[in-house]
């Protein structure tokens, strides 16, 4: 039986999933989660669409493809077992024009390679059977794409951690990890934190992951560049115009999926998100500009390389930032009956997107391990879907032959 002390930095859905998995695998471990906020899951875990992705888009064999497939099944089972809402409302990826059809077929081929269950290509008549108000030439139908409340899932993880004897320390900011021969010390802004020497540490710092890694002696790359995504809630009288999820065919020239319709687990229907540079890593209101965060990306040469390659898409997204009407019109190409629907601002998410020095967005998850410390450096969508699979993987990595040398071997209870 493995015993010892493990710290998790970050009380979002990934950090909590890892803590839960470690305690499930090794009940003798002492596991402590450090979260800077007064509650768990206040950042990306509760500022998202709630979609449980099926794995349509990801490169076969990539961490995203593997962890999304496994994570989807684990999450479904967990929600059913714990009585959490889980709605397999299904998803359409809709082609409006002939030039989108080859891209749609390429996504279909990738989805099949990833083993996405029930995936198929359908024509205009079947589109209307599934989504009566939707128009399109052809579509990809993913019947097992689902929706949940990731905040509720994360809160359930937290309850399970506490019941298993783990500790969650709220309101504690970890600024640096100092590794030595006999452990890792967690430091705050004013020095070492009380009772904060551990045998192993896993950092799941999300929007601050690059800063924590860099201050702790890891490489500066990849860097986090924050992109916000605004959602709008459709007037309740028009909810029934969309039954599930309706997405556009992604533009390969732009790294995000585009504005789409998403049913929420509370029954609301949303339009979103757009994707534009955020003036703060935690600027959820849109009004809290962070000079430090803005300076970081403005002085990062890679950001300007990225921007120069995406000028048309940037201008397109800017329209939706400036005008909610433009936002709605873009989405209404797929559901014309909603062209003039009243909307109100909903959740605003901020994507912790890793970028490399050449100005390319990191497409896959990035997990870096050195010595006693493991950093989750990039876990954008489908990071929440994949959280339980990421937890399985990292739990094995920590407690494999190399990682176990830093922990004590106790006798089985």
**Both tokens of residue 250?**
């992604």
Give 287-295's long-range contacts (Cβ < 8 A, gap of 24+): 293/226
Q: Identify which of 314, 250, 264, 14 has the alpha carbon closest to the alpha carbon of residue 154.
A: 14
137-149 as b/e, with b when 16 or more CB fall inside 10 Å?
ebbbbbbbbbbbb
User: Domain boundaries in the chain?
Assistant: 2-45+151-222+364-409, 91-143, 224-357
Fold entry, domain 2-45+151-222+364-409? FAD/NAD(P)-binding domain (3.50.50)
Q: Distance of CA 162 to CAs 6, 22, 196, 345, Å?
A: 15, 13, 18, 35
Q: Identify which of 234, 55, 48, 53 has the alpha carbon closest to the alpha carbon of residue 133.
A: 234
Residues 148, 122 contacting (CB under 8 angstroms): no
pTM for the model stands at: 0.95
248: which strand partners?
A: 94
Task: Quickly tell me which residue has 């100005």 as its tokens.
Answer: 359
Q: What pLDDT score was predicted for residue 314?
A: 86
263-286 as b/e, with b when 16 or more CB fall inside 10 Å?
bbbeeebbbbbbbbbbbbbbbbee
51: which strand partners?
A: 147
The CATH code of domain 224-357 reads 3.30.9
Q: What is the C-alpha separation between 200 and 375, in angstroms, rounded?
A: 11
Instruction: Please give the sequence-ordered ranges of beta strands (E in DSSP) within 190-244, or none if there are none.
Output: 191-198, 200-203, 223-234
* DSSP structure string for 261-312: EEE-TTS-EEEE---EE-SSTT--SS----HHHHHHHHT-HHHHHHHHH-HH
The DSSP H or E segment spanning 220 is none
Q: Identify which of 124, 165, 343, 373 has the alpha carbon closest to the alpha carbon of residue 239.
A: 343
SS3 359: coil
DSSP structural state of residue 87: B
Question: What's 29-50 look like in SS3?
Answer: EEEEEEECCCCCCCCHHHCCCC
For residue 358, count CB atoms less than 10 angstroms from its CB and return exposed for 0-12, middle for 13-18, buried for 19 or more: exposed
**Both tokens of residue 355?**
């970028």
In this structure, what are the phi and psi dihedrals at residue 318, rounded to the nearest 5 degrees?
-60, -35
SS3 131: coil
Q: What is the C-alpha separation between 131 and 107, in angstroms, rounded?
A: 20
Residues 168, 40 contacting (CB under 8 angstroms): yes
Q: What pLDDT score was predicted for residue 412?
A: 36
Along the chain (413 residues), what's the average pLDDT of each consecutive run of 10 residues? 88 98 95 98 96 96 97 98 98 97 97 97 98 98 98 98 98 97 95 96 98 96 95 95 96 76 95 93 95 97 94 85 88 95 93 95 94 95 97 87 60 36
Q: Is the Cα dihedral 72, 73, 74, 76 positive or negative?
A: positive
């Amino acid at each position: 039986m493995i015993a010892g002390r493990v710290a998790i930095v970050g009380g979002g859905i990934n950090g909590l999933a890892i803590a839960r998995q470690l305690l499930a695998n090794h009940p003798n471990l002492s596991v402590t989660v450090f979260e800077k906020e007064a509650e768990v899951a206040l950042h990306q875990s509760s500022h998202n669409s709630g979609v449980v992705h099926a794995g349509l888009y990801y490169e076969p064999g990539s961490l995203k493809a593997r962890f999304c497939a496994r994570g989807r099944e684990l999450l479904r089972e967990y929600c059913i077992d714990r009585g959490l809402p889980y709605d397999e409302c299904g998803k359409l990826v809709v082609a409006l024009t002939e030039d989108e059809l080859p891209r749609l077929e390429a996504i279909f081929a990738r989805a099949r390679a990833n083993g996405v269950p029930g995936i198929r290509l359908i024509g205009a008549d079947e589109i209307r059977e599934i989504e009566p108000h939707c128009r399109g030439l052809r579509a990809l139908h993913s019947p097992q794409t689902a929706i949940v409340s990731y905040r509720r899932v994360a809160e359930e993880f937290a309850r399970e951690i506490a019941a298993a004897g783990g500790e969650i320390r709220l309101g504690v900011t970890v600024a640096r990890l100092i590794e030595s021969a006999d452990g890792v010390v967690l430091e705050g802004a004013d020095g070492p934190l009380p009772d904060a020497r551990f045998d192993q540490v896993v950092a799941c710092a999300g929007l601050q992951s690059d800063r924590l890694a860099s201050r702790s002696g890891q490489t500066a790359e990849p860097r986090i560049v924050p992109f916000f995504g605004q959602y709008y809630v459709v007037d309740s009288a028009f909810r029934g115009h969309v039954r599930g999820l309706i997405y556009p065919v992604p533009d390969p020239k732009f790294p995000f999926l585009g504005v789409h319709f998403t049913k929420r687990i509370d029954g609301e229907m949303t339009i979103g998100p757009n994707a534009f540079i955020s003036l703060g890593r935690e600027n959820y209101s849109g009004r809290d500009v962070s000079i430090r965060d803005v300076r970081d990306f403005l002085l990062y040469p890679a950001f300007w390389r990225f921007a120069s390659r995406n000028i048309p898409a940037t201008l397109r997204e800017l329209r939706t930032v400036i005008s909610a009407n433009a936002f709605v019109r873009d989405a209404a190409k797929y559901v014309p009956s909603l062209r003039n629907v009243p909307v109100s601002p909903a959740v605003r998410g901020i994507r912790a997107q890793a970028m490399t020095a050449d100005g390319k967005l990191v497409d896959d998850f990035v997990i870096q391990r050195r010595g006693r410390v493991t950093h989750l450096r990039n876990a954008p969508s489908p990071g929440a879907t994949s959280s339980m699979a990421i937890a399985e993987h990292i739990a094995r990595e920590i407690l494999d032959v190399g990682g176990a040398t830093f922990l004590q071997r106790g006798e089985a209870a």
